[in-house]
């Protein structure tokens, strides 16, 4: 039994029946009901034209890929039937589901034999995104269908599900969990099918690594898909999935990633900030109800009002997701923003993100740094994916070469730094666009030096393959006037260790000091390039550059502020501007770089000062000087009546003694002196203003300034020593300390 193509133009008026009065869709104070209603009616009007256009461009030489819209419209109609019991909704859903049987008749019989998955016939719903929608729609309208109609749709589900078995993907990734959802729902929809036990078993196999491992994806887009599919699996197939520790873990991280533009910050393989706003709205509604956290309702409201309401009518697929957002919403819980920490660090094993923010409002300052490397867990699944798919440019799954990169810098609704985008082609664009490291705001270290006449951009580019590295967080601490973070990347293949030190000085505007410290692991020529990207360069000279960015990842920023990038390192660092591409349009890259022959163990640094500047003015460069010491760096920065003295160690384990004594460090061997400041800390600062003095340190035993001893750790007793040595009295490093005095 097949349903004629002619139904596309027939009885369309009968589909537009009534208003959505579903209790489950009216429950939320957010406008889910209205969005679903308007989107559903618009989709019904648009479907004939969409299907005609699909048929016009349908290529008989490709795999059968019917559009997802008929299934999504059927899904909404089925949800409305479930809520209202109105038969018209069930009949509407049935007819759009049955259309897939008609569409597959277009595929030529001669071509069908080319594909193993088509051996038993062309699958009506070959897309693993669409199959769960098809199955859920059928399950919802099943009570309204005759036995003949039920058997007919079950045949379509069976044919679609069996074809899926010809290509599976394993691991804690979005495509695996979507296939598991399709298999589980198919078994639920067709319990008497001979293959149903196999489907259930295979679904559990696909779920297994999402149950026992952390997510392999490092991309905002695929976080949303994976989380939403897990929630549906918990509802339809296995309620124990709602107990997984990974659910609150990733949902809380998504909340912390919310930007002043009311979106979970795009990172990794993600096109636009709002493309999965519906998924995250539903996820946050579920989390708010389950964990009784009003901050999740606030996040859902932010996403809905910013990314869904203005775009109505929504595509049917997005509107269908909002049916779940409305079902899961607990309207007794008021939406309230989270408390506003200035520094949020994820754990440093899985998510590996660092976020600075001044608040949760639209004018807040926001900075995101990603230091996620390819995961060490899920190794076998990753190896399988690399052997099955051409994903050389990806880190893990859907991650980019953005280790230690500043992904976002937002100030007063202005985009100062942003990610490069997803890709220009499949599997990637030219030279790995846009996943490769040189498209990101980070340091790139290349063995060798540019040849005579070769541009820096030509020297940097390669095929775009991801280079395996190891990353870790060394330190991150919030002081009252500034935030300090230090992260490390080790690249054994190319022979260097890079540590990025971020010092964010609070104020209006915020000021950033970025120190990129490099230690070489072998002798040879190397080129170090600190890259910053924008839409255009407003000004450039020997002192620095002003970059402006108007839009990125679907965000349109204010144009009041641009980003000033000033040199602090000195004459050994060169600067270059060259054209690039990001988000599918021309862009500009500002490179601060140096090249030379280095010995194993030798260290060097590139230090930059970043500050938001008014777009239409030319500010003066900062008064900043850098002092290189045998064991560290000293930086002096002054503006107005404020003077900063800052020191950092080249090596946080400097001063180590190797004779087994505890503690295994000697203060005098790691003491740094900058003007009046003296300390043995990993990081120390003194700020002088007319209002007084502020000072702080991490991992140190003392800090003096002039004749003042600002801090000295009390003596500690170390009774446990190796080799029978006697107990020892020494000063223990303090994790952190801060003083503010008048």
DSSP-derived secondary structure for 582-613: ETTEEEEEEEEEEEEEE-TT-EEEEEEEEEEE
Select from 318, 372, 378, 432 the least CA-distant residue to 169.
Answer: 378
pLDDT 10s digits, 220-255: 999 999 999 999 999 999 999 999 999 999 999 999
Measured CA to CA in angstroms, residue 66 lies from 59, 100, 128, 131, 559 at distances of 11, 8, 12, 12, 42
Quote the pLDDT of residue 115. 82
**CB atoms near residue 572 (< 10 Å):** 11
pLDDT value at 21 more than 80: no
Average pLDDT score over residue span 390-396: 88
Q: For residue 313, is the peptide bond before it cis, meaning its omega torsion is within 30 degrees of 0?
A: yes
Model confidence at 8: pLDDT above 50: no
pLDDT of 123 > 70? The answer is yes
Alpha helices in 308-352 (DSSP H): 316-328
User: Would you place residue 14 in the very low, low, confident or very high pLDDT band (cuts 50, 70, 90)?
Assistant: very low
Q: How many residues does the chain have?
A: 742
pLDDT beyond 50 at 404: yes
Q: How far apart are alpha carbons 634 and 629 in whole angstroms?
A: 7
Report the pLDDT averaged over residues 500-526.
97
pLDDT at residue 15 in the model: 31
The CATH architecture annotation of domain 441-621 reads Distorted Sandwich (2.70)
User: How large is the average pLDDT for residues 111-133?
Assistant: 89
Q: Which residues contact 561 (CB under 8 A, 6 or more apart)?
A: 411, 412, 414, 416, 509, 612, 613, 614, 615
Each residue's pLDDT tens digit, 429-471: 889 999 999 999 999 999 999 999 999 999 999 999 999 999 9
Q: How far apart are CA 202 and CA 167, in angstroms?
A: 12
CA angle 518, 521, 522 (to 5 degrees): 120
Rounded to an integer, the average pLDDT of 128-139 is: 98
- Choose between 271 and 58: higher pLDDT: 271
Tokens of 344: 């949020």
Mean pLDDT of 618-627: 86
Mean per-residue pLDDT of the chain: 92
* 3-class secondary structure, 484: strand
Assign 420 a pLDDT band (cuts: 50, 70, 90). very high
Distance between CA 134 and CA 671 in Å, rounded? 68
Identify the band that residue 742 occupies on the pLDDT scale cut at 50, 70 and 90.
low
Instruction: Specify whether the CB–CB gap between 509 and 358 falls below 8 A.
Output: no
Which pLDDT band holds residue 17 (cuts at 50, 70, 90)? Answer: very low
At residue 60 the predicted structure's pLDDT band, cuts being 50, 70 and 90, is low
pTM: 0.94
pLDDT digits (tens, 9 = 90+) for 306-331: 999 999 999 999 999 999 999 999 99
d(CA 217, CA 177): 12
Residue 548 belongs to what H/E stretch? strand 544-548
The whole-angstrom separation of Cα 130 and Cα 284 is 23
pLDDT at 600: 98
Find the mean pLDDT for residues 206-220: 95
> Residue 660 carries which DSSP code?
S
Structure tokens at 666: 């000697």
Q: What number is the average pLDDT over the span 150-174?
A: 95
Count other C-beta atoms under 10 Å from residue 208's C-beta. Answer: 15
What pLDDT, in 10s, does the model give residues 677-710? 999 999 999 999 998 999 999 999 999 999 999 9
Q: Which residue has the higher pLDDT, 509 or 6?
A: 509
Per-residue pLDDT of 550-566, as tens digits, reads 999 999 999 999 999 99
CB environment 401-429: b (16+ within 10 A), e (fewer):
bbbbbbbbbbbbbbbbbbbbbbbeeeebb
Share of the chain above pLDDT 70, in %: 95
For the chain, what are the domain ranges? 441-621, 622-742
CA 240/CA 237 separation, integer angstroms: 9
First and final CA of the chain: distance in angstroms? Answer: 86
Answer yes or no: is pLDDT of 93 > 70. Answer: yes
What's the pLDDT at 61?
A: 63
Average pLDDT of the segment spanning 82-93: 96
């Amino acid at each position: 039994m097949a349903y004629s193509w002619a139904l596309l133009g027939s009885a369309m008026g009968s589909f537009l029946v009534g208003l959505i009065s579903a209790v489950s869709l009216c429950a939320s104070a957010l406008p889910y009901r209205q969005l679903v209603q308007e989107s559903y009616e618009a989709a019904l009007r648009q479907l004939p034209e969409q299907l005609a256009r699909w048929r016009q461009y349908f290529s008989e030489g490709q795999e059968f890929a019917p559009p997802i819209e008929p299934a999504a419209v059927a899904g909404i109609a089925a949800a409305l039937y479930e809520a209202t019991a109105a038969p018209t909704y069930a009949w509407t859903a049935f007819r759009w589901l049955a259309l897939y049987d008609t569409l597959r008749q277009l595929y030529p019989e001669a071509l069908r034999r080319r594909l193993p998955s088509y051996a038993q016939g062309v699958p009506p719903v070959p897309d693993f995104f669409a199959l769960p929608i098809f199955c859920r729609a059928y399950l919802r309208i099943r009570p309204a269908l005759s036995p003949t109609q039920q058997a007919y749709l079950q045949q379509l589900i069976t044919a679609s599900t069996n074809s899926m078995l010809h290509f599976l993907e394993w691991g804690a990734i979005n495509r695996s969990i979507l296939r598991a959802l399709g298999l589980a729902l198919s078994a639920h929809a067709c319990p008497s099918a001979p293959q149903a036990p196999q489907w259930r078993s295979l679904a559990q196999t696909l779920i297994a690594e999402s149950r026992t491992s952390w997510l392999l994806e490092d991309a905002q887009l695929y976080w949303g898909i994976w989380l939403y599919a897990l929630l549906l699996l918990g509802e339809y197939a296995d309620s124990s999935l709602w107990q997984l520790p990974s659910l609150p873990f990733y949902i809380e991280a998504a909340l912390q990633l919310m930007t002043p533009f009311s979106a979970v910050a795009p990172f990794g393989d993600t096109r636009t900030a709002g493309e999965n706003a519906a998924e995250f709205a539903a996820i946050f509604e579920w989390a708010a109800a389950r964990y009784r956290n009003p901050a999740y309702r606030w996040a859902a409201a932010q996403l809905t009002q910013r990314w869904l309401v203005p775009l109505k009518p929504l595509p049917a697929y997005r509107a269908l997701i909002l049916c779940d957002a409305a079902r899961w919403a607990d309207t007794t819980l008021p939406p309230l923003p989270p408390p506003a920490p200035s520094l949020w660090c994820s754990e440093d094993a899985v998510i590996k993100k660092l976020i600075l923010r001044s608040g949760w409002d639209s004018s807040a300052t926001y900075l995101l740094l990603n230091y996620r490397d390819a995961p060490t867990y899920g190794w076998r699944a990753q190896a399988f994916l690399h052997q099955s798919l051409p994903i050389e440019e990806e880190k893990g799954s859907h991650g980019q070469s953005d280790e230690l990169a500043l992904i976002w810098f937002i100030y007063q609704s202005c985009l100062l730094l942003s990610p490069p985008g997803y890709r220009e082609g499949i599997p990637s664009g030219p030279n790995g666009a846009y996943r490769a490291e040189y498209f990101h705001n980070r340091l790139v270290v290349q063995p060798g030096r540019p040849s005579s006449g070769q541009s820096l951009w030509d020297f940097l580019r390669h095929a775009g393959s991801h280079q395996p590295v190891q990353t870790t967080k060394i330190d991150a601490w919030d002081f009252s006037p500034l935030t300090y973070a230090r992260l490390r990347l080790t690249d054994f293949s190319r022979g260097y260790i890079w540590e990025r030190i971020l010092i964010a000085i609070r104020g209006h505007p915020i000021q950033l000091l970025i120190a990129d410290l490099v230690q070489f692991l072998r002798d040879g020529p190397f080129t170090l390039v600190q890259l910053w990207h924008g839409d255009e360069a407003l000004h450039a000279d020997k002192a620095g550059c002003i970059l402006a960015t108007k839009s990125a990842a679907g965000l349109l920023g204010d144009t009041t502020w641009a980003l000033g990038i000033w040199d602090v390192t000195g004459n050994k660092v060169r600067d270059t501007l060259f054209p690039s591409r990001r988000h599918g349009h021309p862009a500009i890259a500002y490179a601060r770089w140096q090249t030379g022959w280095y010995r194993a163990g030798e260290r060097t640094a590139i230090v930059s000062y970043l500050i938001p500047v008014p777009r239409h003015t030319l500010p003066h460069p900062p008064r900043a000087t850098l002092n290189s010491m045998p064991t560290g760096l000293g930086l002096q920065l002054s503006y107005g009546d404020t003077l900063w003295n800052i020191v950092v160690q080249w090596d946080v384990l400097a001063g180590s003694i190797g004779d087994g004594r505890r503690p295994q460090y000697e203060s005098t061997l790691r003491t740094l002196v900058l003007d009046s400041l003296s300390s043995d800390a990993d990081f120390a600062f003194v700020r002088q203003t007319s209002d007084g003095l502020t000072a702080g340190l991490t991992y140190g035993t003392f800090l003096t300034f002039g004749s003042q001893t600002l801090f000295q750790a009390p003596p500690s007793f170390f009774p446990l020593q190796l080799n029978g040595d006697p107990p020892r009295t020494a000063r223990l490093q303090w994790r952190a300390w801060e003083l503010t005095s008048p």
